[in-house]
Amino acid sequence: MRKIALLLCFSAFWLAASAQQLLTNDGIIQMKKAGLSDDLILTTIQAAKAKFDVSPAGLIALKSAGLDDKLMEAIVNKASGLKTAVASANAAATNASVSGSSLPPGIDEVGVYYQNSSGAWTEMMPEVINYKSGGFLKSLATDGIIKGDMNGHIPGKQSKFVTTFPVHIALYVPEGTAPTEYLLLRLRVNSNNREFRSMTGGVIHSSGGATRDEVPFTATKIAPRVYTFTLDQKLGKGEYGIMPPGSVTTSNLASSGKIYSMSITE
């Protein structure tokens, strides 16, 4: 009983303090480190006036502090001005859900997004990939591409989306899709297009995948089906593309796919 009373007093303190100051990410992290229950923290988020940092860096810091998806969604909803409702006590005992949209502002349909200079999520427009085969004999071709491989070509030597480091990316994935199914590719610039290898070919054997030009990345979940990651200076400037699942072909030479490209200048 004494512990419950202390927790109630602590909650009352936060609610009273919110009248004078805004609840922030640091306040939530302090509450989590103090051992307060998730239900109590959720109630405080809903009741207090708040100013949360829901940038990728802010959300990653909250996740690193041990917040679960329920609290992360409540924070995103609060920051976007959406009201959330706590389910009944019975539902809460079985991982109660929060009603209303839990998507970050600006993200409203499946796709790839970047965070602009004002911090808002902005949808990236895809470009068309055309696939071409280098032939059946393994021999060096111009621009370092090996014949016998199936290569993806994007028209134009530079993306229309020009940006600088760091680049914050969000993936809103289709139902049942994981962020690991997306490929981040370093594109090779030719005279009139950008290129990547999509299949290593041979007379006897071929293996799918753009592993030569693939850049590994780790995405963090910030909302249902929404994942973020950041490209930093360690990559080096150049042309890059994000290819969603289903955009790699391994047999039909006349087929095409789509890619979300960017030109990082510095």
Radius of gyration of the CA atoms of the chain, in A: 23
pTM attached to this predicted model: 0.57
Q: Token match 């021999």: residue?
A: 139
The distance of Cα 53 from the centroid of its chain, to the nearest Å, equals 16
Residue 89 pLDDT: 34
Residue 13 pLDDT: 53
Q: State the pLDDT confidence band at 241, using cuts at 50, 70 and 90.
A: very high
In the predicted structure, residue 130 carries a pLDDT above the cut 80:
yes
Mean pLDDT of 101-106: 85
No. of H helices and E strands in the chain? 6, 13
Residue 246 pLDDT: 81
Mean pLDDT is highest, among 42-51, 109-118, 135-144, 251-260, for 109-118
In the predicted structure, residue 111 carries a pLDDT above the cut 60:
yes
The distance of Cα 47 from the centroid of its chain, to the nearest Å, equals 29
For residue 39, the SS3 value is helix
Tell me the domain boundaries of the chain. Answer: 2-92, 111-264
Residue 82 pLDDT: 47
- Percent of the chain whose pLDDT exceeds 70: 70
Residue 138 pLDDT: 40
Amino acid at 91: A
Query: What are 10's two structure tokens?
Result: 């602590």
pLDDT, one tens digit per residue, over 136-183 is 334 334 444 444 567 889 999 999 999 999 999 999 999 999 999 999
> How many other C-beta atoms lie within 10 A of the C-beta of residue 35?
8
**Higher confidence at residue 172 or residue 43?**
172
